[in-house]
Amino acid sequence: MNRKILYIGNNLTKKTKYNSTMAVLSKLLESEGYSIILSSDKTNKVLRLLDMCFTTFLKRNSVDYILIDTFSTINFYYALIVSQIARIFKVKYIPILHGGSLPERIAKNIFLSKLIFNYSYKNIAPSFYLKNEFEKKGFETQFIPNILEIDDYKFKTRKTIKPRLFWVRAFKEIYNPTLAIEVLNKLKKEYSTASLCMVGPFVDDSYKKSLELFKTLGLEDSIELTNVLLKEEWHEKSKDYDIFINTTNFDNTPVSVMEAMALGLPIVSTNVGGLPFLVENKIDGLLVDKENVDEMTNAIKAILNNKYPNLAFNARQKVEGFSWGNNKEKWLEILK
């Protein structure tokens, strides 16, 4: 039987160059014989919501399931409205949970959260962190990790680690990009050749603050800002760098960190949200307190001094467990 699925989320890969989990999962499900309808590719948020609602109504009798990417900010209300349309027409819907701030959203909007998550067919969490947090609130949740097409990630063995830092994230306050610049500044006191590449879209004032900061610190010759790169482009660029840093203040299970683990970049990350559920400290990465320049700098120095020589190899082994081959049966069982 040919199952039909409506996938609700931000289908903006062609416009943003960002290869989202929606793009990856929908392609993999299609390869298993499912018919997938995606909504929405509208960049305007109001038009996107209207398109999602109209598509849900239009396809209500022709799809077997509705997958809903569910975040903690305005997308939470997209999920709320679409899920209630699905309830009215008795269509099975499955929220896929994203964003490290979803537990806070539940705490603030418990009534609305119950409308979504108590009546869903399944709730899917891509991290044990969100699974645990949702189950604390009484929402039954199943863990299925974000999928990495592991064969697309060529592991690079770095025989010599140099102070070349790589950062991949949107320039957004919650991801704290200025911490990366402050860490570089401190690192250069001891390693004059230290450098930093920052890959990601310029979203809010944190981009302007970052520009002002590295100009004030005189780091213009040591930092490169690329804006958005295609996945293949930043993978290629990562070969010129040796340590991946993740500076976020809130997070779930960032795909960029998973990808860096697959590529062989040793990880230094803030210990927030779902990160300790992804990175085991001193085994497959190093975790430090958020907004702590000294801790992150010292962690980088520890890697440069070869204190933890097996981080990258252990990390690659872990993320190989996130392949489609290791997880497709979980999806096929749900969508049977």
Instruction: Return the pLDDT at 107.
Output: 94
Radius of gyration of the chain (CA): 20
pLDDT digits 0-9 by tens, 73-89: 889 999 999 999 999 99
Go through the chain and tell me how many residues it has.
Answer: 336
Spatial separation of the C-alpha atoms in residues 278 and 318, rounded to whole Å: 9
Instruction: Return the pLDDT at 190.
Output: 97
Mean pLDDT of 93-99: 94
pLDDT greater than 70 at residue 91? yes
**pTM metric for this prediction:** 0.89
Contact 282, 308 (CB under 8 A): yes
Instruction: Return the pLDDT at 2.
Output: 83
pLDDT digits 0-9 by tens, 295-328: 999 999 999 999 999 999 999 999 999 999 999 9
Class of domain 150-320: alpha beta
pLDDT digits 0-9 by tens, 112-132: 999 999 999 999 999 999 999
Instruction: Return the pLDDT at 170.
Output: 93
Confidence label for 253 from pLDDT (cuts 50, 70 and 90):
confident
pLDDT digits 0-9 by tens, 278-303: 999 999 999 999 999 999 999 999 99
Share of the chain above pLDDT 90, in %: 89
Give ranges for CATH 3.40.50.2000 in the chain.
4-144, 150-320
What single-letter DSSP state applies at residue 28? H
List Cβ neighbours of 96 (8 Å cut-off, separation of 6 or more).
21, 25, 67, 68, 69, 70, 124, 126
Instruction: Return the pLDDT at 18.
Output: 62
Among the CATH numbers 3.30.70.20, 3.40.50.2000, 2.40.50.100, 3.40.50.720, which is that of 4-144?
Answer: 3.40.50.2000
Instruction: Return the pLDDT at 14.
Output: 64
Share of the chain above pLDDT 70, in %: 98
- C-alpha distances in angstroms, 316 versus 149, 151, 277, 292? 13, 12, 15, 27
